[in-house]
Amino acid sequence: MKKRPITYSKNIFIPVTNVCRNKCAYCGFRRPAEHKDAFLMTEEEVAAILKKGAEAGCTEAMFAFGESPEEAPAFAGKFGKRLKDAGFDTVIDYAAHLCRLALEHGLLPHVNGGVLSFEELKKLAPLNASMGLMLETTAEIQAHKDCTGKIPAARLKMIENAGKLKIPFTTGLLIGIGETRNDWTESLFAIQKLHGKYGHIQEIILQNYTPNSGQENPVRDLKPPSKTDMIDLILLTKSILTPDISIQVAPNLIPPLELIQYGVTDLGGISPVTIDFINPEAEWPKIEELKTLLNSKGYEFKERLPVHPLYVKKEQYGSETKRLVMKLADADGYRKN
């Protein structure tokens, strides 16, 4: 009997900047530009991580950064000159350069930089194997108060624009931030509607909210979902989304084995090199340990690229990533052994 594949990507996590215009109550990553811990990574710092990732056999360079950091007070004064001196007008221009640097190191870029405009997506699309934006929820919630980029319509518009540009796309829901079960349903139908029109949603992350010590303004009534909540959500997701969309949970935030039997098909990016900078207190599981565990339970733990096999076979990925995708992918679109 053939084992059911559970996929993952071996990646590195590069947090380009932690300055963000949003002030999400549950975020432990963001810092105001004037904060002593605010940063904008230098090209040398990024190159050092890319080198380590390549040496460790990673295929994905996941670039994450705060949304529209230039809109945050004090960003220009603290980091603007450095960008200008390096020849970049915006963080998006800088991100495009870093994507090219990743490709030179043999890693496929995947940018998740918050809500981007159509033109910004168009600039980054050729350089990325896939891109992403968490929808989180279509509900208006207290935890998103004063967060310009967390207006649901703005996030749905970006996901739609990614569809228009044929970008293989990752989105997802964040559970336990003040939304209701009815909101889960509405959010999932919104995602399926866009996928039905454009066929570009490669995976949905069902991420459980996990408190961490880095939160600056925590909301006390936020409650991490229970295992039962997550099982209910997985079953709901299976009933609404078409099977060509992978269902992912984060294996450093919740034990994945018990959830796989309900329909989880993917464990996302797992890094042997970098921490999860969004959830720094949650260590990545060891890939070999996960492989042994899953294989013993009748599953095949199978490595993929940041662009999922279906889109590899359709040759639907950034034009400047094609040579590297073809080098790394096997005939079925998975990572070549």
Comparing C-alpha atoms, which of 17, 21, 18 is closest to residue 29? 18
Give the integer Cα–Cα distance in Å for 27 and 98.
25
β-bridge partners, 270: 10
> Is 335 contained in some domain?
no
Domain range for 260: 4-328
> Is 166 contained in some domain?
yes
> Is 333 contained in some domain?
no
> Is 337 contained in some domain?
no
β-bridge partners, 109: 61
Per-residue model confidence as pLDDT tens for the chain (337 residues): 678 999 999 999 999 999 999 999 999 999 999 999 999 999 999 999 999 999 999 999 999 999 999 998 899 999 999 999 999 999 999 999 999 999 999 999 999 999 999 999 999 999 999 999 999 999 999 999 989 999 999 999 999 999 999 999 999 999 999 999 999 999 999 999 999 999 999 999 999 999 876 666 556 678 899 999 999 999 999 999 999 999 999 999 999 998 999 999 999 999 999 999 999 999 999 999 999 999 999 999 999 999 999 999 999 999 999 999 999 999 999 999 8
> Is 291 contained in some domain?
yes
> Is 336 contained in some domain?
no
What pLDDT is recorded for position 222? 87
Comparing C-alpha atoms, which of 135, 273, 291 is closest to residue 201? 135
> Is 212 contained in some domain?
yes
Residues 6+ apart with CB under 8 A from 95: 16, 63, 65, 111, 113, 124
Q: How many domains does the chain have?
A: 1
Instruction: For residue 205, report the phi and psi dihedrals to the nearest 5 degrees.
Output: -90, 125
> Is 47 contained in some domain?
yes
Which CATH number covers residue 116?
3.20.20.70
Q: Which amino acid is at 22?
A: N
